[in-house]
A and B are shown apart, each in its own frame.
Chain A
Amino acid sequence: KAGVTQTPRYLIKTRGQQVTLSCSPISGHRSVSWYQQTPGQGLQFLFEYFSETQRNKGNFPGRFSGRQFSNSRSEMNVSTLELGDSALYLCASSLGLAGGSYEQYFGPGTRLTVT
């Protein structure tokens, strides 16, 4: 099976702009989670989607949003970018079913730099 893919891999944006990141999960996986990784804060959970519904959300401002499509692909959007949004954004997919083992499979990430 193909792994989790994320596009683009690298992105440079200016403060105030908005950005959309894309994630394609492993075939058959219905859950997609997003994480922000920075040297200072480590891995921070953004949100999780299952069957086009957001099931969990982390403690991030409303500028961070996401969605999931019927084919399980997911996008996350960050509006009004700030310098502090510079980070590696990781997407992870899993089966997402209750009673499963809950292991996640990660994509390579999108490195966002805000100038």
Chain B
Amino acid sequence: AQSVTQLGSHVSVSEGALVLLRCNYSSSVPPYLFWYVQYPNQGLQLLLKYTTGATLVKGINGFEAEFKKSETSFHLTKPSAHMSDAAEYFCAVNLGGFKTIFGAGTRLFVKA
């Protein structure tokens, strides 16, 4: 069965520091992978997606993620954190069907 694991329910970084949010998935077929962001009292917004092709994917707001098949990972990074990045981030996987599985989420705190 497919599953998504996000390591760390809370991550805290200083403004200007590297952001690294970890996501591992389990899948027996090539997955479609997504990162979504949720700001308080809002729905989820798509940050970036991996379908096929280039394994390094660039998204909005300076975020990027790298698909590593051998490690079954899809970690999200941003070189320099901004205060506005404080939010909850969700990794999600779809196996080419019509059901997307979401991870438990990682809340990012950015310290001034």
Question: Given the interface contacts A42-B105, A43-B105, A101-B32, does A33 sit within 8 Å of B45 by beta carbon?
Answer: no
Question: Given the interface contacts A45-B99, A48-B98, A90-B43, does A101 sit within 8 Å of B49 by beta carbon?
Answer: yes
CB < 8 Å: which of B46, B90, B99, B103 contacts A48? B99
Give the number of residue pairs across the A-B interface with Cβ within 8 Å: 53
Residues of B within 8 A of A109 (CB): 42-43
Residues of B within 8 A of A105 (CB): 46
Cβ-defined contact, A106 with B100, below 8 A = no
Question: Given the interface contacts A43-B90, A101-B32, A101-B51, does A106 sit within 8 Å of B45 by beta carbon?
Answer: yes
Q: Tell me if A25 is interfacial: C-beta within 8 Å of chain B.
A: no
Find the A residue at minimum CB distance from B93.
A102
Residues of A within 8 A of B44 (CB): 90, 92, 104, 106
What is the distance, in angstroms, from A109's C-beta to the closest C-beta of chain B? 5
| Docked pose: A109 CA to B41 CA in angstroms | 8
Q: What is the total number of residues of chain A having a CB less than 8 Å from a CB of chain B?
A: 24
| Docked pose: A4 CA to B32 CA in angstroms | 22
Cβ-defined contact, B43 with A106, below 8 A = yes
Q: What is the total number of residues of chain B having a CB less than 8 Å from a CB of chain A?
A: 23
What is the distance, in angstroms, from B17's C-beta to the closest C-beta of chain A? 26
Cβ-defined contact, A42 with B49, below 8 A = no
Residues of B within 8 A of A90 (CB): 43-44
What is the distance, in angstroms, from B34's C-beta to the closest C-beta of chain A? 6
Cβ-defined contact, B100 with A33, below 8 A = yes
Find the A residue at minimum CB distance from B32.
A102
B residues neighboring A (CB under 8 Å) = 32, 34, 36, 41-46, 49, 51, 90, 94, 96-105
- Add 6 more A-B contacts to A48-B99, A107-B43 (CB < 8 A): A35-B102, A42-B105, A43-B90, A90-B44, A92-B43, A106-B45
